[in-house]
């Protein structure tokens, strides 16, 4: 295992220490328990926005704390949902009286820990609502399973709900916008290499030099199937088609196209994937009117990418375009 | 022939020891069909529990108090799916065992409460390749043993053995709950890490009762 | 070799195609020959700023084209300096009558090709000045060598000279500011893994699982020495000390601390390095007043990092803080 | 016994062929002490040269015209250090060989001009582990052969053989110019890729003169 780390047990704490020291103008890092808030604290009268999950997906979520996006983020241990006693104070810190929306990725651990935290916060008179992001089409959504995972589409939910909260929407309205994004965003990912969880010390799966995993999540799990290494264009088709199909995209629709890197993929490769994904959407008569390309929802140092498509209407487009000032997303 | 606070404390310490000993195995099992953190997380949690036990000023008044300490500590240190699941299990078990000493029926009630807690939180049923596949036969075996008049130690031994068989039964299963479900068919052929940790913890309970 | 690419020969062209399609509001991509300009073209009366070099270092340089930074960027083949016939039209496009400053990294190929291009542009009445960035302290600067390499410090030169040009400084003044940055910026890097040049098809060097290379450049060259894998804190000291020593940083001085990823390193690890580098500077009484942490000057998918320190005075701080609107740097 | 335009064209085509044949070897040499692009870049350049040659409407009037075409094409397609260095070499050589036919002294003048071009651009001297270490002995050997009255073909053969020895002489050297110099002592023990490509190109010249 080759990483720029010290003791594997200290990875999250040391990352947060560096993050806080580097960006005191944007964020405040709290330790014991660990959570991150906006430097200025919660803005009075604004609905609070909180997200969180296992670490190892940076910049998700702490990189999205700041004006126009999250009020607080809760990083768990690497690939491990945070605990209620971390989440509850973050919910409290984000509350300025208008209530808090928790944006939860659909994993058993995240859902359960956020549930408990919301109960704790509720006992302290914080009005907590939550939405569950489940954009990963690699996983079948069925009554008999844990449902689809939440992956890169989470960025879209956090950005757009964040803009709604910032413009003064109330808790019902912010929740409705978040649900609308969730209903219209889908993703699918590929891994060229595994990643190594620091405390595990060896790769999350063993992948021969000539094979890749299609339909991976963001926790180093193997994907739905293993296939021979293929060209970027071919791989992009395998990612884009199920996403577009699941969204039932029709000719004439407008979308945001988001090509996300898994952490170890250089941006040049992401642009190659973007180029092909865009062409495939155009072949379907779908217009790409907004774009995001970069490493935003990662799996440690994994090489790979995911393709996310968000169906846009005027409201979502306006909210996407609204100013944002976080360490990872800014305009 | 009953189990008291000393037993409960011994159970917790043995649980911590066995989880530490099997930390890497649990990580490896979870690496294969999950995200490789189960051993690390449980070990962190039980280490914290032992720390809390050591720091107690006065000894817990009943079995339930010990289990409640386990519950709250696991809840606030483990995270992931296992944190709330085990946390709720111990919390419910604590309520059921809020007595100074457990007889055989008390042990059964404690195990049943734990299982109910897990199911209430996780909504899984048997055959979904989760810790429920270890807890369910364990509880059933405990009921059967108690019905036959077994002593508390024998009830726990029966539960632990059934948990072992239950854990092994997860190997061929295709997961439909938890993280392993994302693998679909590829989850078959692997032991569920949560079922394995359940087995370890129940064996610790039985050994403490010897 | 595992990459999200198609034919290795098409990597640069396809990356540029995706880049141009994703960011039409910021950049315009020209092909045959390849160069990138601002979407709006050169602003009349402003000194033009051009940089370029081999591809594979993304977002350098095309990611820094835009208001407040570069007017044009010239990407060569992977790790290969661009040719004069690419550079010359970029110099021309960047010229609006006030002359052009070329920011060249100190490599034989870059220097020679920019030299020739400047002659070509000069023949077309473009007034071209150039500065050579050589911030890498791993390489001894001696009369008898090719001198120090230009590495991550280039971002500081491009940002600050860009701000000077944007505020209306003339060619002499912009050149002087660029020289001032060059005189005050130093870097040193480490590789945990090699990178693979697409057309070469195998790693740029062979590094055992328990060894790292200290003193690497940004072209996948091996470093100055190979050492056993160490903890992040220890490695950071090996990078920071020669940088701080070479700059002769004195107690009370203010600096910008820039921790750069080589492409395959997750931002969490960069923050761990940042944290330690900052502490080491503070031990020397040096105050870190500005920070940059991220993958900005990369070597394809290499895992590793570099530490850059820029000595700041009021002028450089103001110029660093000035607005910038590029695809990779924006505030 | 003189070398004409047909020879020059043949030289270029043979150069392209040998560079293509040794593409991977040159990449590998450059990978060891540089950035692994020398073979790729030269191959791209010479492939373009051949394309230009094939597309010519009328044949070049003299040797210099052929070399000028090589110069401008390499300059605009190779990039890196080798692009301008070889580009300048061919440009100066073209000027020195702006005649329909080259005798032995003409060959010498051409080689000397090429070397001067490389040195003018790259500022390297012998012993710095660059292509200069192949061009210098090659030019010297050409001078010696011409002085002894050798025919142009023999002059080129002597130059090519000297280039081979010159290239080999770079192996123990510590680089002080070019990208290999960044390696310091670690550059010793490797053949310089530019010296190797020089050797290949000069052998192509000699073979075309057979
Ligand atoms: N819905 C559920 N019901 C019961 N047990 C579950 C459920 N989901 C997961 N588990 C158990 O949790 C274990 C995984 O725990 P752990 O690795 O700590 O959490 P995570 O999956 O969040 O990483 C699984 O092996 C399984 O036994
Ligand atoms: N200053 C110089 N003078 C002469 N030859 C040089 C000089 N610098 C580099 N070279 C030659 O160029 C070769 C490298 O060419 P190439 O790999 O194409 O360029 P780059 O180093 O830019 O990648 C070296 O092997 C060396 O022979
Ligand atoms: Mg987990
Ligand atoms: Mg797990
Ligand atoms: Mg090169
Ligand atoms: Mg090279």
Distance from CA of A291 to the nearest CA of C (A): 6
| 3-class secondary structure, A203 | strand
Mean pLDDT, chain A, rounded, equals 96
Does residue D30 register a pLDDT over 90? yes
Domains in chain B, please, with CATH?
5-209 (1.25.40.340)
Residue located via tokens 């000279």: C161
Cis peptide before A59 (omega within 30 of 0): yes
Q: What is the predicted pLDDT for the residue at C223?
A: 86
**Per-residue model confidence as pLDDT tens digits over A64-88:** 999 999 999 999 999 999 999 999 9
- Indicate if ipTM > 0.85: yes
Contact C301, C1 (CB under 8 A): no
Q: Picking from A20-24, A213-217, B167-171, which range would have the lowest pLDDT averaged per residue?
A: A213-217
> Which residues in chain C are closer than 8 Å to A2, comparing Cβ atoms?
192-193, 209, 212, 229, 303
The pLDDT value given to residue C144: 63
User: How many Å apart are CA C271 and CA B7, to the nearest integer?
Assistant: 46
Among candidates B80, B176, B184 on the partner chain, residue whose Cβ is nearest the Cβ of A109: B80
Q: What are phi and psi of A317, to 5 degrees?
A: -65, -45
- pLDDT at position C42 is 86
- The CA-based angle B81-B84-B90, given to 5 degrees, is 130
CA distances from A215 to A219, A264, B183, C2 (A): 12, 17, 9, 17
pLDDT of residue A143: 60
The reported pLDDT for the residue numbered A146 is 75
- For residue A161, the model assigns a pLDDT of 98
Q: What is the DSSP secondary structure assignment for residue B179, as one 8-state letter? A: G
Q: Using one digit for the tens of pLDDT, what is the confidence trace for B123-133? A: 999 999 999 99
CB contact D184 to C (< 8 Å): yes
Contact call for residues D138 and D144 (beta carbons, < 8 A): no
The verdict on D178 touching C (C-beta cutoff 8 Å) is: yes
Alpha carbons within 13 A on the beta-carbon side of D51: 9
According to the 3-state scheme, what is the secondary structure of chain C?
A: CCCCCCCHHHHHHHHHHHHHHHCCCCEEEECCCCEEEECCCCCCCCCEEEEEEEECCCCCCHHHEEECCECEEEEEEECCCCCHHHHHHHHHHHCCCCCEEEEEECCHHHHHHHHHHHHHHHHCCCCEEEEEECCECCCCCCCCCCCCCCCCHHHHHHHHHHHHHHCCCCHHHHHHHHHHHHHHEEEEEEECCCCECCCCCCECCCCCCCEEEECCCCCCCCCCEEEECCCHHHHHHHHHHHHHHHHCCCCCCEEEEEEEECECCCHHHHHHHHHHHHHHHHHCCCEEEEEEEECCCCCCCECEEEEEEEEECHHHHHHHHCCCEECCCEC
The answer to whether the CB atoms of C108 and D36 lie below 8 A apart is no
pLDDT of residue C53: 98
Domains of chain A: 8-183 (3.40.50.10440), 185-321 (3.30.1180.20)
DSSP codes, B27-39: HHHHHHHS-S-HH
Ligand 1 lined by A108 (C-beta under 6 Å): yes
Alpha-carbon radius of gyration of chain A: 19
Give mean pLDDT, residues D183-208: 96
Those chains having 3 or more beta-carbon pairs within 8 angstroms of chain C are A, D
Q: Catalytic residues of C, which ones? A: 57, 219
Q: What is the pLDDT of residue A141?
A: 66
Q: Could C271 and A56 be called an inter-chain contact, meaning their C-beta atoms sit closer than 8 Å?
A: no
Give the torsion sign (CA, A288, A291, A294, A299).
Answer: negative
Q: For this structure, is A219 an active site residue?
A: yes
Percent of chain B having pLDDT more than 70? 100
Q: State how far residue C231 is from chain A, nearest Cα, in angstroms.
A: 5
pLDDT at A219 over 90: yes
Is there a catalytic annotation at residue A57?
A: yes
Query: What per-residue confidence (pLDDT) applies to C222?
Result: 83
A window 301-320, beta carbon within 8 A of B = none
Residue C118: count other Cβ atoms within 10 Å of its Cβ: 23
Number of C-beta neighbours around residue B43 at 10 A: 21
Share above pLDDT 70 across residues of chain D, in percent, rounded to a whole number = 100
Cβ(B175) – ligand 1 distance below 6 Å: no
Please indicate if any CB of chain B lies within 8 Å of the CB of A78.
yes
Query: Burial level of D150, CB count in 10 A (0-12/13-18/19+)?
Result: middle
3-state secondary structure of A4: coil
CA dist B27 and B147 (Å) reads: 37
Residue A123 has pLDDT above 90, yes or no: no
**Mutation probe of ligand 1 site: the residue of B34, B43, B81 with most atoms within 8 A of C-beta:** B81
DSSP state of A264: S
Mean pLDDT of D20-48: 96
Residues of chain C under the 70 pLDDT cut: 141-145
Residue among C6, C263, C269 whose CB faces A5 most closely: C269
Higher pLDDT, A200 or B152: B152
> How many beta carbons lie within 10 A of that of residue C269, not counting itself?
28
pLDDT tens track for A269-324: 999 999 999 999 999 999 999 999 999 999 999 999 999 999 999 999 999 999 99
| pLDDT at position A221 | 84
CA distance C282 to C276: 10
Please judge whether A205 and B177 are an interchain contact, meaning their C-beta atoms are less than 8 angstroms apart.
no
Closest CA to A328 of A39, A30, A74, A19: A19
From the list D127, D47, D45, the residue with the least C-alpha distance to D85 is D45
What is the predicted pLDDT for the residue at D48? 98
Query: Which of left, alpha, beta for A80 (phi over 0: left; psi -120 to 50: alpha)?
Result: beta
> How many C-beta atoms lie closer than 10 Å to residue C41's C-beta?
13
pLDDT digits (tens, 9 = 90+) for A26-35: 999 999 999 9
Ligand 1 neighbour B82 (Cβ under 6 A): yes
Yes or no: say if B193 and B25 are a contact pair by the CB < 8 Å rule: no
Any idea what DSSP says for residue A135?
Answer: -
């Amino acid at each position: 295992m080759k990483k720029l780390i010290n003791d594997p047990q200290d990875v999250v704490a040391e990352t947060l220490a560096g993050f806080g020291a580097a960006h005191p103008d944007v964020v405040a890092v709290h330790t014991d328990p660990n959570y991150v808030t906006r430097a200025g604290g919660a803005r009075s009268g604004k609905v609070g926005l909180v997200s969180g999950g296992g670490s190892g997906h940076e910049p998700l979520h702490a990189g999205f704390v700041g004006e126009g996006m999250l009020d607080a983020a809760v990083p768990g241990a690497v690939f491990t949902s945070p605990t209620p006693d971390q989440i509850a104070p973050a919910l409290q810190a984000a509350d300025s009286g208008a209530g808090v929306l928790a944006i939860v990725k659909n994993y058993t651990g995240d859902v359960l820990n956020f549930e408990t935290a919301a109960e704790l916060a509720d006992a302290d008179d914080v009005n907590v609502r939550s939405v569950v992001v489940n954009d990963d089409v690699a996983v079948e959504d069925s009554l008999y399973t844990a449902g689809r995972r939440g992956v890169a589409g989470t960025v879209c939910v956090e950005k757009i709900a964040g803009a709604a909260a910032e413009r003064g929407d109330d808790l019902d309205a912010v929740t409705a916008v978040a649900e609308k994004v969730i209903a219209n965003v889908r993703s699918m990912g590929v891994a060229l290499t595994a990643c190594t969880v620091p405390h595990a010390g060896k790769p999350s799966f063993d992948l021969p030099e000539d094979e890749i995993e299609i339909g991976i999540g963001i926790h180093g799990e193997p994907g739905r199937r293993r296939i021979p290494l293929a060209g970027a264009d071919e791989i992009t088709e395998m990612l884009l088609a199920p996403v577009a199909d699941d969204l039932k995209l029709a000719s004439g629709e407008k979308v945001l196209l988001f090509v996300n890197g898994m952490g170890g993929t250089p941006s040049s490769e992401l642009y190659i994937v973007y180029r092909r994904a865009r062409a495939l959407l155009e072949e379907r008569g779908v217009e790409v009117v907004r774009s995001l390309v970069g490493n935003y929802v990662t799996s440690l140092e994994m090489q790979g990418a995911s393709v996310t498509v968000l169906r846009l209407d005027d409201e979502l487009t306006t909210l996407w375009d609204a100013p944002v000032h976080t360490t990872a997303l800014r305009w | 022939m009953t189990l008291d606070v000393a037993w409960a404390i011994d159970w917790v310490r043995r649980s911590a020891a066995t989880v530490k000993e099997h930390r890497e195995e649990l990580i490896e099992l979870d690496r294969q069909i999950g995200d490789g953190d189960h051993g690390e997380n449980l070990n962190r949690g039980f280490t914290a529990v032992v720390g809390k036990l050591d720091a107690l000023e006065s000894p817990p008044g009943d079995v339930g108090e010990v289990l409640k300490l386990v519950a709250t500590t696991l809840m606030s240190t483990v995270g992931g799916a296992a944190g709330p699941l085990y946390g709720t299990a111990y919390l419910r078990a604590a309520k059921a065992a809020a007595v100074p000493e457990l007889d055989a029926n008390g042990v059964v009630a404690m195990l049943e409460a734990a299982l109910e807690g897990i199911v209430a939180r996780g909504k899984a049923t048997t055959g979904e390749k989760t810790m429920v596949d270890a807890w369910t036969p364990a509880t059933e075996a405990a009921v059967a043993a108690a019905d036959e008049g077994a002593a508390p130690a024998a009830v726990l031994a029966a539960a632990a053995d059934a948990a072992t068989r239950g854990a092994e039964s997860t190997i061929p299963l295709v997961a439909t709950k938890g993280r392993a479900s994302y693998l679909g068919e590829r989850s078959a052929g692997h032991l569920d890490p949560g079922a394995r940790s359940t087995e370890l913890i129940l064996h610790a309970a039985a050994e403490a009762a010897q």
